[in-house]
Chains A and B, each alone.
Chain A
Amino acid sequence: MNVSLVAADRLLWSGEATVVNTRTLAGEIGIMANHTPILSVLEPGQVDVRTADDGHWVAAIDGGFISVANNEVSILCDRAEISHESDFEEAKRKLDANAPAPAGSADTDGDA
């Protein structure tokens, strides 16, 4: 099945995958090929994807949506950080720079 991870300002990843694991408001969800069409709200957390070529990546997301239809999975979020792109040191430096803000208050999207 075709999976794409889309942040508000860019497409982070798109390709063939076998399993997608993540967490929705209703609980953990694992999606494999031929999953029934679903549209669900995601919790801030991580997305775990096994790619078709036996690879594996995780991404941190700040909530969003997952939609599955016709073997097309799209994960939408405002902001996302994908494992093979993110730099741990850089992230840590940024976190330290923003130290006064308590950890976990990263979501700034103001849903009214």
Chain B
Amino acid sequence: MALSLREYRARIRSVESTKKITRAMELIAASRIKKAQLRAQSAAPYARELTRAVSAVATYSNVDHPLTTEPEESNRAAILVVTSDRGLAGAYSSGALKEAERLSEKLKGEGKEVDIYVSGRKGIAYFTFRRRDIVDSWAGHSDQPTYDVASEIGAALIAAFVAGSDAGERIEEGEDVPDVPAVDEVHVVYTRFRTMLVQEPCAVRLLPLEVIESEETPPPDQVLPLFEFEPSPEEVLDALLPKYVQSRVFFALLQAAASELAARQKAMKSATDNAEELIKKYTRIANQARQAGITQEISEIVGGVNALADANAASE
């Protein structure tokens, strides 16, 4: 017994308070997941309608738009990494960051320069610690993202992309090109929420947009509606596509939020379990130490009594 009983008791108390904290965090995360899922559900109608509208325009008109045009050559890419603001979520943030690094290596391998955009303090800390440049970052909303944040991020990414698509021409025309580094493609790395137990980091290309032409097949007795576009297909598309991008970013943020909370709940649950395990172990050791102390005391008393008896016997 290296430590005294008192020290074991102190350890048990400290683990118990850790357990209380992790248990509380687990419960908070669990209740927030429900909210996050609800939020993801209520954002679904908008995304669905928007997708439908975009594919309608794509199907019924042959309009090229800067946001959908593949650049002839791509030599600069932007990656938006969605991480959490706070830790204690197991491997959640590091999973997304690892995926981002993998994608960044791949893009660099293709001879592209990579610009990093980050959402979430963990990601910002990761890149600042490694003295890597971050073009733009957002934080403070990772577990409950709002559409405003999503549209801000979307606008920044679109600005960078649009700057890339016509920067050459504009410089020739002597225009001022905005200060953002122009990129030819934009990727988003976020954690997809599959189930409460499985969340996987994934990377998708956001820009140029790949517009899926109408996936809806009309009912057999109807033909697909022939849309009229007001004021014009170009203008409708002009207004529609940025919204589409923003809603995709919003979707990524919502998924990431749900994943973060699920990861946190899982991590906190295993922390609570571990704390219970530790408490059990320490209680056993402490009991042993206590028993050893008692045994030692008894044997000291017995030894003392015997010695006294021996001494008395000898003196008589």
Give the interface of A toward B (CB within 8 A).
4, 6-11, 24-26, 29, 36-41, 63-65, 67, 69-70, 74, 76, 78-79, 108-112
Contact = CB atoms under 8 A, between A and B. Distances in A.
Contacts of B146: 9
Contacts, number: 109
A28 B45 CA distance: 26
Given A11-B42, A78-B151, A112-B158, A41 B239 contact: yes
A25 B151 contact: no
Contacts of A67: 49, 52-53, 56, 227
Interface string B145-176: 01110111001101100100000000000000
B121 to A, nearest CB: 23
Contacts of A108: 148, 151
A9 B39 contact: yes
11 contacts: A6-B45, A10-B45, A25-B235, A39-B230, A41-B230, A64-B243, A65-B53, A65-B239, A69-B225, A110-B156, A112-B162
B241 to A, nearest CB: 10
Given A25-B230, A26-B230, A4 B45 contact: yes
Contacts of B148: 108
B229 A76 contact: no
B151 A41 contact: no
A39 B151 contact: no
Contacts of A111: 155, 239, 242-243
A39 B162 contact: no
B56 to A, nearest CB: 6
Q: Which of A41, A64, A112 gathers most chain B CB within 10 Å?
A: A112
A8 B303 CA distance: 83
B235 A41 contact: yes
A36 B228 contact: yes
A37 B49 contact: no
Contacts of A10: 42-43, 45-46
B227 A38 contact: yes
A110 B239 CA distance: 11
Contact of B229 (A7, A9, A39, A79): A39
Contacts of B57: 39
Given A11-B45, A11-B46, 15 more contacts: A6-B45, A8-B46, A9-B146, A24-B230, A37-B225, A38-B230, A39-B236, A40-B229, A40-B236, A65-B239, A67-B49, A109-B155, A110-B156, A111-B243, A112-B155
